[in-house]
Structure 1
Amino acid sequence: MSQRLASTPLSVLDLAPIVQGGTASDAFRNTLDLARHAEEWDYKRYWVAEHHNISGIASAATAVVIGYIAGGTTRIRVGAGGIMLPNHAPLIIAEQFGTLESLYQCRIDLGLGRAPGGDQRTAQALRRKLGSSGDTFPQDLMELLSYFRAAVPGQAVRAVPGEGLNVPIWLLGSSDFSARLAAELGLPFAFASHFAPDYLFAALDLYRTHFKPSEWLDKPHVMIGVNLFAAETDKEAHRLFTSLQQAFLNLIRGHPGPLPPPVDRMDGHWNPAERPHVDRMTRVSVVGSPATVQRGLESLIDATGADELMLTGQIFDHQARLRSFQIAADARKAASSEQPTEPDLPGQPADPLHPQAPSPESIRGSLPR
Structure 2
Amino acid sequence: MNQEPGSNEEIKSFCTLNYGVDFKNGAKTYFDPTPNTWQRMYEIVSFWAEKGIDGLRVDMADMVPMSFWKWLVPKVKKNFPAITFIAEAYQPSEYREYIEQAQFDWLYDKEQFYNTVRSIVEGKNQAVAISQVWKEQDNLGPHLLRFMENHDEHRIASDFFGQNPQKAKPAMVLTATMHKGPIMIYFGQELGEKGMYGEGFSGVDGKTTIFDYWKIESYQKWVNGGKFHNEKLTAESLALRNWYIKLLKFRNRHDIFSKGEFYDLMWQNEHLNDKFFVYIRHTNELVMLFVIAFNIYEPQTIKAYLPDHALEHVGLNFDKGISIEQIFEDHQNISFKKYDDHYALEMRINKSTGYIFKLK
Question: Does the TM-score normalized on the shorter chain lie above 0.5?
Answer: no
Q: Which has the higher strand share?
A: 2
Which structure's CA Rg is the greater one?
Answer: 2
TM-score normalised by structure 1 residue count: 0.31
- TM-score norm. by structure 2 comes to 0.31
